[in-house]
Every structure is written in structure tokens, then in C-alpha cells.
Structure 1
Amino acid sequence: MLVTTEQAYRAVAARDPRFDGCFVTAVRTTGIYCRPSCPARTPKPANVEFFPTAAAAHSAGYRACRRCLPDAVPGSPEWDLRADLTGRAMRLINDGVVERAGVVGLAATLGYSSRHLTRILTTELGAGPLALARAHRAHSARVLIETSDLEFAEVAFAAGFASLRQFNETIQEVFATTPTVLREQTRRGSDPHDGTAGTLRLRLPFRPPLDAEGMLRFLADRAVAGVEDAGPEHYSRTLRLAHGTGVATIRPEGAHLATTLRLTDLRDLGSAVTRIRRLFDLDADPAAVADVLGGDPVLAAGVTRTPGVRVPGSVDGAETVIRAILGQQVSVAAARTTASRLTDALGDPLTRPGDDMPEHGLTTLFPSAETLASAAAEHLNGPRRRVDTVCAVAEALADGSLRVHPGRAESELRRDLEAFPGIGPWTARYVSMRVLGTPDVLLDGDLALRRGAAALGIPGNQAALRARSVRWSPWRSYAGMYLWRAAAEPPPSRRGRHGRPGRQHNHPSTRENP
């Protein structure tokens, strides 16, 4: 937990929504656990205990509050801040690894024994990997119950339950009600389901504020034709998932992202949602970031002017690595063009594109590592070394000798990437920032970032920038976003009336970067 018991109780007394997802509050006299901002009467200190996860509260015998729905909150930013085994395990559990490979598979992915992993998670979080995965399945099941017309047996299968009986017992235990009642309660309100098989409409919460405009602009500038489409009010893309394919469309709406998912296999729901949340950095704590970065005079104005800046993440580690290599030493536009041509030649046709979204042109999956390993050299132009690097990395991804997923330790991932000729520290750190969600990476070797630093009065050399960045820790990745924004702003002579900047444009970066 990121807060002490005393701080947690103060947050509950203030009904502070910034702490939703960081911990849950369990009330001994009622047997119910809530999110910190629950509008119910504040319990007495002697009657409450705090748990870092809903799974820990479940294991202790508590059930979820039906008023505040504590499972429908942003996730804890702790899992990106923590690079230890617990943080890495939580990222993989949220991605559905236990449902796909079991605890043994989770432990093997992390490089530990099942016994050791269970002991660490139980000590740290009050629940082992099975209990944590069970809470994840319960949340996925509730989403399907409330947003689809699937039979409950199909919901149980899609959410990862072994049987309908296990599904019913879990829903009753966690939510203190039955699947039938949950669905009836939803039907009495607005029905978010549009009637199309495999289609779900969800609301993904986050801690406000969120610089949605900046995020959508970032994604639009890098959108690969056929795979992605983005504009001022939406982002759409195809997804390669464990059991099938998907199409996602995301639109910012108030304090949540309105998300439409079309999946060929509903077992991929939890993983798809987790990847979208990571792409948009929805579990970040913007208040904590602003407290640190806003305290530095050179960044304070930018933090005030554009609150809630996020660090774009990744929906597919392998894709992100390949695109980062394609973007080395070229402009963002050139990298996008190369990736689009490669996708047009080698991408897999989408099995079931969204029927009501033909205008977005989502027809293709980004090429698989296996396809790139065998055929990329025939379709890539440019420096021979870059072509060789793409082929070597794709081959390593295909045979499993290189693993790029949110459960990797940052130091190990960077070491593995830098072992390839043609991949240097910049690319390795950029990949770790986006795939792992590492919040404290400053790409001080980036020319555009240094130009932004110089525009704010920081000497534009790496040594000076590194020295200044010490005060930005542990949020240097977010500081970098503000520096890139500063590089994109027009010089003072081109500012508008009253000293305000005119329309902003993205800088012509020399590298593929945020």
C-alpha cells in the first residue's frame, strides 16, 4: 500500500477519490469492503481494516459493497512504481496469465517457483496468485453479466471459471448477490449492450485529470494504417490476443473512457481491458506527479497549463519493440510510413473487423514476430543494419529467447535488448518505459527532449539534464513528456497576443518518441 493506516483513514473520512484503487476499506461490523470514496457513513477507526487489494479482502471474508462497486475503480499506480516481484506479478495477473497458464505458468514467466511466488504475494498483499486471479475473474464476470446478453454458462467460461457452480459461488461470495440479480439491476437502468455478438461497451475509469487531447494526438501521429486510426475524439485499433483477435474504439467522456470492444473470443476480455488501460496509463496518479513536477519552477507552468499528462503505454510488447527499431534516427512520420508499408505487406487480415466501424479502416493485425523473422528483409528499405536488427529481434521474439511483456524486470529487459547489434540504451529505455510502464525513465539522449529542456532554461546537454532530473524522481518519464511538449511550442516571437502560445504542433523529432 502506498499510504499508512492513518493516511488511509483520513482518505476514507474525506471520501477522497484519488485513493480509489490504491486500497480498500473493510468494515468489521458489516463484513463489507468499500472504495475510499464510498458515500456511506464513515466507520469508526476501531471497526476498519485496510487491504491493498480486493482479493485480500475476499480472503479475509469480506464482500464487495454494492453501492460503491470497489472493483470498478482505476488500478493502483503501485504496480508500475514497484519493479519487484510483487509488482511484476500483479501486472501479469491483470493481463490474465493465471487464467491462460495457471500459477505454474505465471511463476515460470517470472522465473520463480510457484511456492516462492505464492509466499511472496501472500506476505505482501494478503492473498496468493489464485485469490488475486479469482478477484480478476469476478470483475470480468460482472462486466459480462452487466454488458452482454450471454447465457451465464458462457459468461463463466469467458471469465475463466472452471464450472458454472464455481462461477455462481464466486459471484455470491464476492458481490453478495446472484448473477440474475446483477443483470436485472443493470437492465432497470440504461443497457450498454448494443445487441451484436461479441461486442461490449465499457466505461474505463481513471483518476482525473487526464490530458486526453495530448494522448490522442500522440497516437494519431504514429497510427499505422490498417492497424490504428485516431482523431481528436477517438482512437481505434486491432488487437492480437491470446485466444483470438479484437477491435477496440476508445473515446474520452468525462471521468472515464467510453470503450467499445469487439472480440472473437470473450475469454480475452480481461486482457484486452488491461492492455487498453496500460496504453492510456489510466492507473497513474496525476496528483502525485503534479506534486513533484509542479514543485520545480521550470516545469510548474507546463504542469499547471496541461494537467494530467500521461505516458503512453503498449498493447503488444513485440509490436512496440519492432516499431521502436523502425523509428531509430528517423522522423515520426517516416517511422509511421515504414511501419504502415510493412503491415500492408505482411500483416494478418483481421478475422472479424468491426461491422459498424468500416470508416476507420481497421482491417489488419500488425505482423507477427514469426512472419517478420521470415520475410521482413524482403520488404524493408533503409540502412542494412536496421533491417538486420529487425530480423534478428523478430527471430528472437518468435523462438522465445527474447520476451517482452509487462512482467519483465526493467534491468533484465534492457540488458536483453541492448545485446542486439543496432539497439542502444535509448531504444531499450524507451521500450521499458512504454511496455513496463516504468515511471522514472528520462530519455536524456533524445535530441528533441534536450531542445525542450533548453527552451525551459535547462542547459541542453545530457549531464546538466541528468543533474536537474534528480528532483523529478520517481516521475521522470512524465517530466520527459512535458519537455517534449516544450520542444513543440513555438518560440516567444511566434506566440499569440497577450503572450499566449499559438496553436501547438508536434515537433519533427529525429527519433520515434513520445
Structure 2
Amino acid sequence: MHEDTESCVRAVHSKDARFDGWFYTAVVTTRIYCRPSCPVVPPKVQNMRFYPSAAAAQQAGFRACKRCRPDATPGSPQWNERADLVARAMRLIADGVVDRDGVPGLAARLGYSVRQIQRQLVAELGAGPLAIARAQRAQTARLLIETTATPLGDAAFAAGFGSVRSFNDTIREVFGLTPGELRTRSKNVITTPGSLALRLPFRSPLCPDNLFGHLVATAVPGVEEWRDGSYRRALRLPHGHGIAALRPTPDYIDCRLTLSDMRDLSVAITRCRWLLDLDADPIAIDDLLHQDPFLASLVTKAPGRRVPRAADGPEFAIRAVLGQQVSTAAARTHAGRMVTAAGEAISDDEGGLTHLFPTTEALAALDPATFAMPESRRTTLTRLLDALPGIDLSVGSDWQEARAKLATLPGFGPWTIETIAMRALGDPDAFNPTDLGVRRAAEDVGLPKTPAALTAHAAAWRPWRAYAVQYLWATGDHPINFLPS
């Protein structure tokens, strides 16, 4: 979009927050870059320059606006809508792969050469993977500086910088202030070690009912809970573990993180945003779905539904198998037993979380006879555990390749595969017409109820069929559709 100057200028003049994250506006006279909705008086058109990413603006010598904080906008929705190389790379960079494994590690995950990845990212985003990761480190560092009492030297390494000098130089270059000056200006410092509170932005509207209702109704005992108006869950992170408490408000998601290692801050934020589908573009999605007369009233009634995602792909695949042909309560019971048998114990001073969900390796080491389920489903589960090391279910996965590999496993039919594609892989077009709830809802609103006929009708909903499913599910009287009291 940044190449469409006329559209960008209109968005800046109207201060349209829907375009925050789609592009960034730089002002050549002040050397500052802003989000489109920045509240300051728009500059003259001839002084505007538009960039596709914060990293590109920073590389061009612009620093972040202190008022609109452009580095803290919702991410571009296209990275979660697409499955091409650039989108997959952006999801992995956000998940910290470059900071942990470097660009060669990113290339290995994607199956391309370093040169190919560099070329495609620069062509589309104006910056390579190192610059994009650097921009993310700067934002993480600012969160640590402004919202925690972490010593600045520790904040530098926790944010992923290799030295205090590079930390100081980057903060001064990106924000126009030293780390010490940023902390002096802040009024939100939390002194609890390992904890911080932040606001997760999103594009309005957002309907929290099915989003939090689904996560809470299917919560695994000991790993997830609803407490004091917040959905809380334990997260397995690259350097340790964390606990996220997420509470919906009209304007943002209130997020409180407790981390065993502050180096995991950026990854924890990314996974919380992914879990709640906060980078979606609800206007585009709802505009398309509203064109269908059978869905129009559902969209009008509660616009902005999101797809509740999964914090961990392999975990969700296991839980999908546990949920085959049983009630939500039974699936939670099965998962809770696994957690007790093989999960890693954690402490939770603010709630009742007790474990991390077991790793694939830990579950594979258990005697299959301990899985209290029919023999056929036990076989499905054990075969899945054997196959998971060779199936990429991460945020950077190839959606069609993952589907193909899952389809080779016994007991993996369309319902299970599309459920995993929707919740774990994040494919916005995942569609499960064989789902009982979808079929009942389709019949209630006058849509075709047979899978084949419904699939044919749903072609008009592409590429947002996963969101159409959320609207259809919402017609049912089920706990997944209601925000807990």
C-alpha cells in the first residue's frame, strides 16, 4: 500500500487508525516517522514519505514519533493472511527466530537460501531480516525500559542486543532519547521481578465473546484458567516459561506477563497476539461476509469476531485428537490427565496454574495404555506423537504441506485437519463443513446443510471462511460463545 501515495495521504489526513501497521509516514523536515492515525497536524504532502515497515523507515534515517509510538501499532494483517515466503518469514521473525538462530536459522526453517530471503524481504518491505529483527528488539527494549525496573544493562541483553553499546546506539537512533531518558519519562514502572503490564492494541471492532469464551470453555486444567476477569495460561518459551493474563477492554487487551527469563518478552507478546488474532483486519473480513444475506444479520449483531488460536501448534494437534467425537468436558478431562502425568510443574503466585502442557517427547515416553480412550483413538494419538517431529505446525509453517502430512496419519480426517489449520496454523480460510455445530448453524440460518453444498456456497466467503465459521458457531447456545462472568 505504501506505493499508493494518494491513498496514503488520504489515510493520514483522516487519521484513519485502520491503516496503522499497513504503512508508516515519514516527515523529511523533522526526520520523524509516524503511524497514519498520529494526532499531530499532518505535514505538507511534499514532505511525506511512505514506508512499508518501521524497519525501512529506521533504515532511511527516521526516528519514531514520541507521541503516536508507531512501533507499538497492530502488525500488518497481511502477514497472517498469507502463506508465501515473506509472510512466513515475518511470522518467524516476530517469534524471535532471527534473534535466536540468526538469518541462516530463519533460512533453514523456511527451506530457502539466505540470499533469496534477503532479496524478497527487501523488495516487499524495504528492509532485510536483520533490520526487521532490530526494529523488534528496539520495541522490546522500550517496553523493558518503560514498564519494568530491570537494570538497563540487563534490559539490553534481555531484548536481544549483543552489547550495551549497540543497545544505547539503537535506542538513541530509533527514539531520539537515551535509555535513561526513556525511563525517566515513564510513569508505569512495575517493580515486581519478572513481571510487566502492557496494552495489546488491535483494530476495531473486536468481539471478545467467542474469543475468550472458546479459550476458557476448552481450557486445560492446570495450564489455563479464567480468574478475576482474565484468561490466564502457562506458556512454554525459548528460554524458560511464562504466565500470561489477558483481559479484554473496549480499546485494548490488558496483558500481564510473568516470565522466568526476560529474554522471552518479545516472543511472549507475539504469541499472545497470535493467540487472540489481534492483527486481523475486521473491517475487510466483515465487509465480505456481510455481503452474504445468510450471514449479514450475524455480522451486524456482533462484528469483529476473531479466530481463537493456539499458543503452541503441536499441543493443539494433540488436543484436537483428544477432542475427536467427545464432549468439550471429556476432552478437557483427558488433557488434564496428560498434564498431571507428563507436564512440567511450575509455580503461580497469582492463580491456580500448575503445569506447562507436556512436550511431544514427554508424552511419547508414556505407556500408551495410560491414555484412557478407545483403541482407535489411542492409535491415532501415538502415531501423531511419532510423526510430530517431522511436521511443522509453527507460525512459519507451509499450510498446505502441513495438511498433506497430517492427512497421511490414521484417524486424521477433514474435521481434525481443518481444525488444526484454523487454530494452530492460523489459516484464515480453513473450513470444516463436517463440523456438527457448523451444520446445525447452517440449517438454522437457511444455508445448505450438507458438506458439499455448504462448501460450494462458502466459496464466496474466501479467503475468510475461518471467520465465517466463528459467526456460524455463535448461533449456538454453547459456553464457547459467551464471555465468562
Q: TM-score, normalised by structure 2?
A: 0.96
Write the mapping of 1:162-173 to structure 2, written as runs, cut at 5 A.
162-173=162-173
1:384 aligns with 2:363: no
The structural deviation recorded for 1:78 is: 0.5
What secondary structure sits across from 2:348 in the alignment? coil
Q: Is the 8 A contact 1:373 1:392 kept in 2?
A: no
Instruction: Evaluate the alpha carbon distance shift between residue 178 and residue 451 of structure 1 in structure 2; reply closer, same or farther with a 3 A threshold.
Output: same
Write the mapping of 1:68-467 to structure 2, written as runs, cut at 5 A.
68-187=68-187, 191-193=188-190, 195-230=191-226, 233-350=229-346, 353-355=347-349, 357-358=350-351, 361-375=352-366, 377-397=368-388, 400-467=389-456
Deviates further, 77-86 or 381-390: 381-390
Distance (whole Å) between structure 1 residues aligned to residue 150 and residue 232 of structure 2:
25
The amino acid of 1:32's aligned partner reads: I
The structural deviation recorded for 1:460 is: 0.5
The structural deviation recorded for 1:192 is: 4.6
- Matched with 1:10 is 10
Deviations 1:31-66 (A, max 9, x none): 111000001111222222221210111111111111
Task: Return 5+ residue gaps in structure 1 as ranges.
Answer: 490-503, 508-514
Distance (whole Å) between structure 1 residues aligned to residue 271 and residue 234 of structure 2:
12
The structural deviation recorded for 1:319 is: 0.5
Distance (whole Å) between structure 1 residues aligned to residue 63 and residue 4 of structure 2:
23
Q: Is the 8 A contact 1:93 1:129 kept in 2?
A: yes
Distance (whole Å) between structure 2 residues aligned to residue 4 and residue 445 of structure 1:
42
The amino acid of 1:384's aligned partner reads: E
The amino acid of 2:419's aligned partner reads: Y
The amino acid of 1:477's aligned partner reads: A
The structural deviation recorded for 1:232 is: 8.2
1:62 aligns with 2:29: no
Percent identity between the aligned chains? 51
Instruction: Evaluate the alpha carbon distance shift between residue 415 and residue 136 of structure 1 in structure 2; reply closer, same or farther with a 3 A threshold.
Output: same
Q: Is the 8 A contact 2:213 2:479 kept in 1?
A: no
Distance (whole Å) between structure 2 residues aligned to residue 410 and residue 372 of structure 1:
25
The structural deviation recorded for 1:403 is: 2.2
Distance (whole Å) between structure 1 residues aligned to residue 439 and residue 377 of structure 2:
24
What secondary structure sits across from 2:46 in the alignment? helix
Deviates further, 19-28 or 387-396: 387-396
Instruction: Evaluate the alpha carbon distance shift between residue 129 and residue 32 of structure 1 in structure 2; reply closer, same or farther with a 3 A threshold.
Output: same
The structural deviation recorded for 1:426 is: 2.2
Deviations 1:160-195 (A, max 9, x none): 0000000001101111111111111113xxx251x2
Greater relative CO, 1 or 2 (CA 8 Å, sep 6+): 2
The structural deviation recorded for 1:30 is: 1.8
Distance (whole Å) between structure 2 residues aligned to residue 10 and residue 471 of structure 1:
30
Deviates further, 9-18 or 22-31: 22-31
Distance (whole Å) between structure 1 residues aligned to residue 114 and residue 369 of structure 2:
43
Deviations 1:444-464 (A, max 9, x none): 121210111111001201122
The structural deviation recorded for 1:303 is: 0.8
RMSD: 1.6
Distance (whole Å) between structure 2 residues aligned to residue 18 and residue 376 of structure 1:
52
Q: Is the 8 A contact 1:216 1:232 kept in 2?
A: no
Distance (whole Å) between structure 2 residues aligned to residue 475 and residue 281 of structure 1:
13
Distance (whole Å) between structure 2 residues aligned to residue 83 and residue 376 of structure 1:
37
What secondary structure sits across from 1:341 in the alignment? helix
Distance (whole Å) between structure 1 residues aligned to residue 415 and residue 8 of structure 2:
39
Distance (whole Å) between structure 2 residues aligned to residue 484 and residue 165 of structure 1:
53
The structural deviation recorded for 1:331 is: 1.9
Distance (whole Å) between structure 2 residues aligned to residue 3 and residue 469 of structure 1:
33
Deviations 1:176-225 (A, max 9, x none): 111111111113xxx251x2110111111111221112212111110111
Match of 1:472 among 444, 461, 465: 461
Q: Is the 8 A contact 1:220 1:231 kept in 2?
A: no
What secondary structure sits across from 1:237 in the alignment? strand
The structural deviation recorded for 1:282 is: 0.6
Distance (whole Å) between structure 1 residues aligned to residue 172 and residue 396 of structure 2:
31
Deviations 1:389-441 (A, max 9, x none): 222222333xx322210101111111111121221222222212222321112
Deviations 1:87-123 (A, max 9, x none): 0000000011111111110110011111111111111
Instruction: Evaluate the alpha carbon distance shift between residue 232 and residue 214 of structure 1 in structure 2; reply closer, same or farther with a 3 A threshold.
Output: farther
The amino acid of 2:129's aligned partner reads: P
The amino acid of 2:368's aligned partner reads: A
Distance (whole Å) between structure 1 residues aligned to residue 227 and residue 11 of structure 2:
37
Write the mapping of 1:6-45 to structure 2, written as runs, cut at 5 A.
6-45=6-45
The amino acid of 1:394's aligned partner reads: L
Q: Is the 8 A contact 1:21 1:74 kept in 2?
A: yes
Instruction: Evaluate the alpha carbon distance shift between residue 44 and residue 212 of structure 1 in structure 2; reply closer, same or farther with a 3 A threshold.
Output: same
- Matched with 2:47 is 47
Distance (whole Å) between structure 2 residues aligned to residue 2 and residue 31 of structure 1:
18
The amino acid of 1:474's aligned partner reads: P
Distance (whole Å) between structure 2 residues aligned to residue 465 and residue 46 of structure 1:
51
The amino acid of 2:13's aligned partner reads: A
The amino acid of 1:310's aligned partner reads: R
Instruction: Evaluate the alpha carbon distance shift between residue 213 and residue 448 of structure 1 in structure 2; reply closer, same or farther with a 3 A threshold.
Output: closer
The structural deviation recorded for 1:337 is: 1.3
Instruction: Evaluate the alpha carbon distance shift between residue 269 and residue 136 of structure 1 in structure 2; reply closer, same or farther with a 3 A threshold.
Output: same
What secondary structure sits across from 2:127 in the alignment? coil
Instruction: Evaluate the alpha carbon distance shift between residue 506 and residue 170 of structure 1 in structure 2; reply closer, same or farther with a 3 A threshold.
Output: closer
The structural deviation recorded for 1:3 is: 8.2
Q: Is the 8 A contact 1:342 1:379 kept in 2?
A: no
Distance (whole Å) between structure 1 residues aligned to residue 129 and residue 317 of structure 2:
29
The amino acid of 1:297's aligned partner reads: P
The structural deviation recorded for 1:284 is: 0.8
Q: TM-score, normalised by structure 1?
A: 0.91
The amino acid of 1:439's aligned partner reads: P
The amino acid of 1:325's aligned partner reads: V
